[in-house]
Amino acid sequence: MSTTIAFLGPAGTFTEAALQAFAPRFSAVEPVAVDSPSAALRAVREGRADYACVAIENSVDGAVTATYDALVEGRPVQIYWEVDLPVSFSIMTRPGMQLCDVASFSTHPVAYQQVRGWLQDHLPAVEYVPASSNAAAAEAVARGEVDAAAAPARAAELFGLDTLSSEVADVKGATTRFVLVGPAGKPTERTGQDRTSVIFTLPNEPGSLVGALEEFAHRGVDLSRIESRPTRQGLGIYRFHTDLIGHIEDQPVAEALRALWLRAQELIFVGSWPSATQLGEAPRDLNRLAAADAWIASARSGR
């Protein structure tokens, strides 16, 4: 039976390439193209897809805020795996066009941040037209709606376009992290090189964020990322999206999250899953924690 995975389409996006990287985990995969990360996660929430493949972070432009916001738009969902993909672009036009013919240019806004330098050098006066995806930009070129697009090389093949320049990236070695999101369930098994993600809100009181972060510091749990996003309930009210080094099965992580739950107005568990890259130090020595538990047990029993 096929596993249905929603992704940012059409075919030819980096998200589709990430989906193919996840595909060997399943016996068969049925891709379903949608027009946004929100639509991909909505397909999971409504049972029209088993998983959603979405971009969550880019090494140049940072967080993919559309994905962050989509994670809290409805019923709980959970991240199970991740993959990091190198990202560079091809500049493509309809057959026969030259660079001097290009007056309008399209790509996804995240991609635009990664090719701005190239555009400034080669097409400084070009009109930028945002697209829902890089492949959608290539499709717009094929339809004659814009003159050129920045997209994965495969998009030129799919839409019959010419490539004017390849391997375009203002920052060489740029990568994008993609995650596979499904309905909330049991986390992926602990590997010892894991990432845990939570989203929380705090009372609007002096020191509330410092106090929350100290719960991790006191237990030797390292935060690899923290971002704030508006709740859309009013100015100055934010959710904090946080990645931790470690798995919820690691006692220090579990204890820190328990303490955070007591402080938070809302705490959403987004998942624990194997990291695609080497992380920093894991939580402090678990043997020391076991010894501390034994000491507490001894004191409670009067031994």
CATH number of the domain enclosing 122: 3.40.190.10
In this predicted model, what pLDDT tens digit does every residue of 117-168 receive, in sequence order?
A: 999 999 999 999 999 999 999 999 999 999 999 999 999 999 999 999 999 9
292's tokens: 């501390």
> Would the pLDDT of 301 be above 70?
yes
26 a catalytic residue: no
In the predicted structure, residue 275 carries a pLDDT above the cut 90: yes
In the chain, the percentage of residues whose pLDDT exceeds 90 is: 79
> pLDDT confidence of 25, banded at 50, 70, 90?
very high
Residue 118 lies in a domain: yes
Count: domains in the chain: 3
294 pLDDT above the threshold of 90: no
Q: Are residues 77 and 178 in the same domain?
A: yes
The dihedrals phi and psi of 113, each to the nearest 5 degrees, come to -65, -20
Q: Are residues 219 and 149 in the same domain?
A: no
DSSP β-bridge partners for residue 4? 30
Indicate the DSSP class of residue 185: -
**Mean pLDDT, the chain, whole residue set:** 92
* Domain encompassing residue 261: 186-293
**Residue 268 shares a structural domain with residue 158:** no
How far, in Å, CA of 13 to CA of 66, rounded? 16
Which of 176, 188, 196, 242 is an active site residue?
176
Q: Are residues 154 and 252 in the same domain?
A: no
Q: What is the mean pLDDT of residues 21-27?
A: 96
Percent of residues, the chain, with pLDDT higher than 70: 97
| 4: annotated active-site residue | no
Please report which confidence band the pLDDT of residue 204 belongs to, taking 50, 70 and 90 as the band edges: confident
Q: Does one domain contain both 204 and 289?
A: yes
List residues bridging with 194 in a β-sheet: 274
- Of the listed 105, 159, 178, 269, which one is catalytic? 178
